Amino acid sequence: MTDGFEVPTEAAAAYRRFQQSLAELATQTENLVARDFTPHEVRVDDDYLQKMASNPDASDELTRAAQLVRDGGLSWQDVIDGLVTMPAEIRELVAAGVSFALAVTPEQRRQAAAQADWDDDEDWGQPKSWLSNEW
């Protein structure tokens, strides 16, 4: 007798297998919960966005944005920043908190370097580079 009812003899083996499967599932669930699970970070780069745009199911906005990027009129960062109508696919990625690892143009590198450069190197003693003649 089990839980107030009697298992028919012809079903006893199947019932035991079912109970064993439930016990294994419970064990696996406990093991999964006990793990320190950290999802990996998803990073989307230029190539991934171009592949998304070449998909037959891509929206017209994404296809147009990809063409503008290929033609050099925009960068993917411009698309993400909303300089054109943001495609639904990119809107969903942004809403999901996906990190974008986008290519940087030489001009963007120069701007970033200029912003990162200190105006007051002399206040800190030595210059940033020992290879320069600034000191």
More reliable by pLDDT, 126 or 97? 97
Q: Provide the pLDDT confidence category of residue 22 given band limits of 50, 70 and 90.
A: very high
pLDDT tens-digit series, residues 81-108:
888 889 999 999 988 888 888 876 656 6
Q: Provide the pLDDT confidence category of residue 19 given band limits of 50, 70 and 90.
A: very high
Both tokens of residue 124?
């800190």
More reliable by pLDDT, 46 or 117? 46
**Other beta carbons less than 10 A from residue 93's beta carbon:** 19
Q: Provide the pLDDT confidence category of residue 110 given band limits of 50, 70 and 90.
A: low
105: alpha, beta or left, given left = phi > 0 and alpha = psi -120 to 50? beta
**Other beta carbons less than 10 A from residue 132's beta carbon:** 9
Q: 101 near 45, Cβ under 8 Å?
A: yes
pLDDT (0 to 100) of residue 44: 85
Positions of E strands within 1-135: 43-45, 99-101
Q: Provide the pLDDT confidence category of residue 5 given band limits of 50, 70 and 90.
A: confident
pLDDT tens-digit series, residues 40-81:
676 788 888 999 999 999 999 999 999 998 888 888 888 888
pLDDT over 50 at 1, yes or no: no
Mean per-residue pLDDT, 17-41? 85
Between the CA of residue 53 and those of 19, 28, 58, what are the distances in Å?
49, 39, 5
